[in-house]
Amino acid sequence: MAHLAAGNERQRDAYRVLQESRVLLTLAAFHPYPAGTVPIDIDISGSDLDILCEANDLDAFATLIHRDLGNMLHFHCSRGTRSGDGASYVTCNFQIDHWPIEIFAQAVPIQQQNAYLHMKVEWELLQLWGAEGHREIRRLKRSGLKTEPAFAQVLGLQGDPYVELLHLATWSRIELRDWACKQPSFFPFSSTINERL
């Protein structure tokens, strides 16, 4: 959360909303972690403010969320099972001020959750691309693409973009950088990448 508190204007505003609404206090026992596009500065108008949580007892988590946040605007909470590994999760959506918020909880440490792994890879790539990369991802998102498909398009990835980004998340920073620099789709950012090596 310190990253948001010291970030750009939208990040600081997101942090303010979470603090003033006491959402962070409600989630404190579940190690709330900001994820998605806002922390890595590729959010666009209408982007969700995503918060990952680790909840070993999803029933108790859902009960607490309904009790403490159920009066929020546009509140909706649902249970699901992730395709692939069958892991259960809870998602809760609501709105505070102009921010749509989504809380995602699993009985999985946050650093092992797919959303965290996607964001980590995306952040590493953005560090290579610089401002040009941020602009291109935002452009693709404004055209209607979700975040992971936007990255997959720039990377020239084939197959399911969510799965492919998880594969990249298993690589070291050096392996990811070396591979990324060889991709033809990176040519528009080549001068930026060379400056950052």
Give me the domain span that covers residue 144.
114-196
Are 16 and 81 within one domain? yes
Are 15 and 98 within one domain? yes
Chain-centroid distance of CA 31 in Å reads 15
Are 46 and 118 within one domain? no
Distance (Å, whole) CA 169 – CA 7: 24
pLDDT at 185: 67
pLDDT at 186: 57
Are 105 and 127 within one domain? no
Are 105 and 151 within one domain? no
β-strand pairing of 99-106 with 88-96: antiparallel
Would you tell me how many other CB atoms lie within 10 Å of the CB of residue 175? 11
With a cut of 90, say whether residue 43 has pLDDT above it: yes
pLDDT at 86: 76
pLDDT greater at residue 12 or residue 197? 12
- Look up the CATH number of the domain holding residue 69: 3.30.460.10
Are 61 and 118 within one domain? no
Identify the CA nearest to 23 among candidates 58, 50, 59, 2. 50
With a cut of 60, say whether residue 47 has pLDDT above it: yes
Q: In the structure encoding, which two tokens stand for residue 167, read together?
A: 């594969």
Are 6 and 47 within one domain? yes
pLDDT tens track for 74-109? 999 999 987 767 789 999 999 999 999 999 999 999
- Percentage of residues in the chain having pLDDT higher than 90: 70
- Length, in residues, of the chain: 197
β-strand pairing of 33-35 with 88-96: unpaired
- Ramachandran area for residue 46 (φ above 0: left; ψ -120 to 50: alpha; else beta): left
pLDDT tens track for 147-174? 999 999 998 899 999 999 999 999 998 8
Contact, 142 vs 44, CB < 8 A?
A: yes
Chain-centroid distance of CA 168 in Å reads 16
With a cut of 90, say whether residue 131 has pLDDT above it: no
Are 46 and 140 within one domain? no
Are 121 and 189 within one domain? yes
Q: Quickly state the pLDDT bin for 197 (edges 50, 70, 90).
A: very low
User: Among 80, 109, 138, where does a domain finish?
Assistant: 109
User: Among 89, 109, 129, where does a domain finish?
Assistant: 109
Single-letter code of the amino acid located at 166: L
Are 174 and 82 within one domain? no
In the sheet with 49-54, reading across from the earlier edge strand, the strands are 33-35, 49-54, 99-106, 88-96, 73-81
Would you tell me how many other CB atoms lie within 10 Å of the CB of residue 142? 11
3-state per-residue secondary structure call for 53-111: EECCCHHHHHHHHHHHHCCCEEEEEEEEECCCCCCEEEEEEEEECCEEEEEEEECCCHH
Helix 147-155 and helix 114-129, axial crossing angle in degrees, nearest 10: 50
pLDDT tens track for 11-32? 999 999 999 998 999 999 999 9
Are 76 and 122 within one domain? no
With a cut of 60, say whether residue 183 has pLDDT above it: yes
User: Among 109, 132, 162, where does a domain finish?
Assistant: 109
pLDDT at 193: 47
- Structural domain total, the chain: 2
